[in-house]
């Protein structure tokens, strides 16, 4: 009876570790290159239900006049709801909101009847309570978006967006975001 001897070198057993290590190093180098190539651009991670989970590249000082509906924008939490966002731990301190740019100055918006409607198209529902049953503010409005302001609405009904706090000044936009790696 012949016996087969299998020889396994140490380099074969280390191969998976080298592959994983190489991939991780490549990802780290890409992130460093993206952020170091232009200090005004960096990456933001989204873990909320408002948008796809993942990493977004931020483009600071976007040309507001050229923003399109459904572009993703990053903006300061409106002052009148900052304490609510902080107290309920919706976001960490000084973390901006990242939402779709849904309605611009002059657009028709209506947030009555528990639905969000922009230009006669329903974008989503409005909930009275958050995921823990706590009451949410509801911005009731039907009309044209005022000059210098915009509305942000996520299709996800649990999103904390303009359906709860109203229009946002265009000057509060920090950046435009583009998905880098989402799932």
pLDDT at 19: 78
Portion of the chain with pLDDT greater than 70, in percent: 84
Q: What does 23-56 look like in DSSP terms, one character per residue?
A: HHHHHHHHHHHHHHH-TTEEEEEE-SSSS-SEEE
Q: What is the CA radius of gyration of the chain?
A: 23
**Band of the pLDDT at 7, cuts 50, 70, 90?**
low
pLDDT tens, position by position, 42-100: 889 999 989 999 999 999 877 888 999 999 999 999 999 999 999 999 998 888 999 99
Please check whether residues 130 and 163 belong to one and the same domain. yes
Distance CA 31, CA 41 (A): 11
Tokens of 109: 């918006």
Distance CA 75, CA 70 (A): 14
Name the residue range of residue 71's domain: 38-182
Q: Which pTM does this prediction carry?
A: 0.77
Distance CA 182, CA 48 (A): 12
Please check whether residues 73 and 106 belong to one and the same domain. yes
pLDDT at 42: 85
Please check whether residues 80 and 22 belong to one and the same domain. no
Q: Is 150 domain-assigned?
A: yes
pLDDT tens, position by position, 14-58: 667 777 777 777 766 666 565 555 444 688 999 998 999 999 999
Distance CA 83, CA 118 (A): 28
Please check whether residues 14 and 48 belong to one and the same domain. no
Distance CA 58, CA 67 (A): 14
Q: What does 16-31 look like in DSSP terms, one character per residue?
A: HHHHHHHHHHHHHHHH
Please check whether residues 17 and 93 belong to one and the same domain. no
pLDDT at 41: 63
């Amino acid at each position: 009876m012949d016996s087969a001897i299998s020889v396994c070198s140490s380099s074969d057993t280390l191969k998976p570790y080298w592959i994983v290590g190489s991939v991780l190093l490549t990802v780290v180098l890409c992130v460093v290159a993206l952020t170091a190539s232009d200090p005004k651009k960096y990456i933001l991670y989204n873990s909320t239900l408002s948008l796809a989970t993942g990493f977004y590249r931020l483009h600071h000082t976007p040309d507001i006049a050229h923003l399109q509906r459904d572009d993703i924008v990053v903006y300061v939490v409106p002052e009148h709801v900052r304490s609510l966002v902080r107290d309920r731990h919706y976001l960490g301190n000084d973390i901006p909101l990242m939402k779709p740019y849904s309605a611009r100055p002059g657009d028709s918006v209506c947030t009555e009847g528990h639905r969000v409607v922009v230009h006669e198209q329903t974008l989503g529902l409005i909930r009275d309570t958050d995921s823990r049953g706590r009451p949410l503010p509801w911005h009731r409005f039907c009309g044209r978006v005022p000059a210098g302001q915009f509305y942000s609405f996520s299709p996800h009904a649990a999103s904390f967006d303009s359906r709860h706090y109203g229009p946002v000044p265009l000057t509060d936009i920090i950046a435009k975001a583009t998905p880098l790696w989402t799932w």
